[in-house]
Structure 1
C-alpha cells in the first residue's frame, strides 16, 4: 500500500484503515478527530466515486463540531476484503450486508449511534436503508441525488387467489425495439462486459471518467431535467444517453462525444485534472466490478424476498433530500421523488434542488450543500428533542 498515490485532501482530513469491518479492511477518511466526545456523521459515496468525493464537505461539518467519517465502500478504492470477480459472491454486495458494513464501522469507532447518515448516488439508498432498519443507530438521514424507494411489497390478499408471478419488465424489450434502439444503463452495468468496457476504455480511464463526470454535471448545458410521465420506453428514451444508452454502444462510447474541450477542463474548479487523476488511478488499479455488483443486486431481483421482510415500513427519523437542479437523477424513475416525500419518509424536513449543480452536487456546489446539511442537522436535532 506504500506505493499508492497521495490523496488530494485538505490538511484537516486524514486517511486511515480500520480492520475487521464485516470481513473488510476499510479505508476511511476522517475529519474532526482531534477532540473526543463529538457527535458522529457517516458519509457514504456512490458510483463511480470514492470517499474523496466528500473532501469539500467534511471540513465544514467538522468545523461545526462533528466527527466525520467517510469510507471507501465495499467494492471501492482502498478498502479490501471484497470479491472482485463477476462470478464472485454477489450476495456480499446486497443492501443488508452493506448496511452491516456501515453499522460495523460506526461501532468500531466507539459510537452506539450517529447524528446522521448521509449518502450520495448509490450511497443514498444505503443511507435510507440504514435509517429504516436501525433508526436507533442512524438518528437522521440525508439522501442525495437518488430518491429512496420503499421496501418491495409482499403479495397481498392472495390466500384465495393465485399470486401473480413476478413479471419480466417489458420496458427493456420495448426500449430495444424503438426506432433508435436503446438500453437502460443499470441493466448494462449488470452485464459481464461493463467492467472490461470501462476498465479498458479506448480513451483511457482518465478521459472516460472526465467525459462521464462532465456529461452528468451542470457543465453539460443540455441537462435540463423534468418529470417523466411513466416507466415506458417512449418516456425513458427522453433521458440523456448516460441513463438510457444507444443499444449498441458501451458507456465509454456513449460519453466520448461529450468530452469537454481543453479550455473547459482547465476552467473546471469542482474537479480539476489533478483531482480527477486520483479517481482514475484508483479505478485503473481496482477496475469497476466492485461498484457494478451493487447494480446487479438490484436488477437481478435476487434479494427482493429478503427486503420484503420490511414491506410497508417507512423511514421515521428526520430526513432530507438534496440534488442538483440540473440532475436527471431525481427523475430517472418516474414518480420516485414524490413517493419518497409522500410515502417512504414520514418526517422529511427538507427537499432541495441546488441550482448550478448536476449529479455531483456536493462537489459542484459544496458551499450550498454544506449550508443545507448544517441547516438540516440543526432541524433534525430539534425534531428529536420534541
Structure 2
C-alpha cells in the first residue's frame, strides 16, 4: 500500500487514518494532514485498493470482485495500521466512497477504530436481515424498477452508479475525447461549489421523478458517457486559472496517476454495490449501530448528502448511536476537504478533542 504520512517524526503519537474516495487518492488529504500533525497526531493516508500506487489488485473487469467488498477493505485498513505498530487509532476519517469504508471499520472493529468521521456520503447502516420468517417466509427481493423508470422518462436518464458498473465506463473516462486531464477538471468542477447549479435539498423518495432532480453527474442522460456529461460544464480558461483549491499543478498529480492506472480499480467498488452480490455478508451486522463517537461533515453545496433519500436521517437516528457532530460547510461542494480545508480542519480537531476526552 502506498501511503502519505504526516507527524511521523516523533514516536508515541496517537494515530489517525484517512481514507479517500473516487476518483481521488491519498493526495486528496494534502490540506488536512499537516493540520492534524500539528495537533499532535501521526496521520496516515493510503491509496486504497484499486487506486494510485497501491499494488496487488486486479483491474480485470471479468476478474474476482470479492477483494473489493467492504469487509476486505476494512481488513486493508486494519492491516495497514497494524503494520505501523498501532493496536488502535483515535479516528478513521473517510470521504466519498471512503466514508462507508470508515463506517464499516468502526462498525466491525470498534476496539481498533475508536471514533469515525464520515464525509460527503451519509452511512444509513447495514442491510436488514429478514426477521420473523418461520411461519411467514420472506417475500423475494423486489425488482428495483427505478432504473427502468429513469430510462422511460421524457428525457431518458440513467444512474451514475450503474453506469460506473458497465464494462465501458473505464474506457469512456480513461480515453475521454477531451483528454484525461480535462475530463478530471470538468468532473471536479461540476461537483464543486464553483458550479452554480449545486444548490442541493433533500429528495422525498427513491423514485425516478425525484432522482431526475439530481445534476447530470449523478443522474446522467441515458445516451451520454461521463466524459461527455462533464464536458458540457467545463469551466473556461479564466475560471481554471482562478481556481485556488485545485490549481492545474495539483490536478496534474491526479491525471498522471489515473493515466497510468485507469479507473477500473475504483469502479470495482461500485460494481460490488450495484450487483448486490455481497449484501448477504453485510447482513451479519444487521441492526448493529456504530457506537463509537461519530461525526458527519459535508459541503453545503454537495448533492451527495441527499442523493439517497433518507440516508442522512437514518445515519443520525439509527446507524450511529453517538453522533456528536453533523456539519455542512458553506462554500464547499463534494470535495469539501479540498475546497474548504480550514473549516474542515477546525471541525475535525473539535471532534477529535471531544471524542478523546
Give the aligned partner of residue 143 of structure 1: 118
What is the number of equivalent residue pairs in this alignment? 357
Distance in 2 between residues matched to 1:251 and 1:359, nearest whole Å: 17
1:362-383 Cα shifts (integer Å, max 9, x gaps) = 000000000000000011112x
Q: Is the 8 A contact 1:216 1:358 kept in 2?
A: yes
Distance in 2 between residues matched to 1:237 and 1:165, nearest whole Å: 28
Give the aligned partner of residue 23 of structure 1: none
Q: How does 1:227-376 map to 2 (within 5 A)?
A: 227-376=202-351
TM-score scaled by length of structure 2: 1.00
User: Aligned-pair distance for 1:162?
Assistant: 2.5
SS at 2:290's partner residue? Answer: coil
Distance in 2 between residues matched to 1:348 and 1:278, nearest whole Å: 35
Give the aligned partner of residue 151 of structure 2: 176
SS at 2:2's partner residue? Answer: strand
Q: Is the 8 A contact 1:206 1:280 kept in 2?
A: yes
Distance in 1 between residues matched to 2:136 and 2:77, nearest whole Å: 41
Distance in 1 between residues matched to 2:173 and 2:288, nearest whole Å: 37
Match of 1:78 among 53, 71, 74: 53
Give the aligned partner of residue 152 of structure 1: 127
Distance in 1 between residues matched to 2:243 and 2:154, nearest whole Å: 37
Q: How does 1:101-180 map to 2 (within 5 A)?
A: 101-180=76-155
Distance in 1 between residues matched to 2:17 and 2:288, nearest whole Å: 23
Q: Is the 8 A contact 1:356 1:365 kept in 2?
A: yes
Distance in 2 between residues matched to 1:163 and 1:325, nearest whole Å: 40
Answer yes or no: is 1:49 the counterpart of 2:24: yes
Distance in 1 between residues matched to 2:66 and 2:180, nearest whole Å: 28
User: Aligned-pair distance for 1:88?
Assistant: 1.2
User: Aligned-pair distance for 1:149?
Assistant: 2.1
Distance in 1 between residues matched to 2:143 and 2:243, nearest whole Å: 43
Q: Is the 8 A contact 1:125 1:149 kept in 2?
A: no
Q: Is the 8 A contact 1:47 1:122 kept in 2?
A: yes
Q: Is the 8 A contact 1:265 1:272 kept in 2?
A: yes
SS at 1:197's partner residue? Answer: helix
> Which structure 1 residue ranges, 4+ long, deviate > 4 Å from structure 2?
none
Distance in 1 between residues matched to 2:31 and 2:57, nearest whole Å: 28
TM-score scaled by length of structure 1: 0.92
1:328-359 Cα shifts (integer Å, max 9, x gaps) = 00100001001100110000000000000000
Distance in 2 between residues matched to 1:164 and 1:202, nearest whole Å: 46
SS at 1:183's partner residue? Answer: strand
SS at 2:295's partner residue? Answer: strand
Distance in 2 between residues matched to 1:128 and 1:269, nearest whole Å: 31
Higher RCO (CA < 8 A, seq sep 6+): 2
Distance in 2 between residues matched to 1:141 and 1:196, nearest whole Å: 35
Distance in 1 between residues matched to 2:218 and 2:52, nearest whole Å: 24
1:303-334 Cα shifts (integer Å, max 9, x gaps) = 00100011110000000000000000010000
Distance in 2 between residues matched to 1:200 and 1:251, nearest whole Å: 11
Distance in 2 between residues matched to 1:381 and 1:276, nearest whole Å: 35
Q: Name stretches of at least 5 consecutive residues in structure 2 with no aligned partner.
A: none
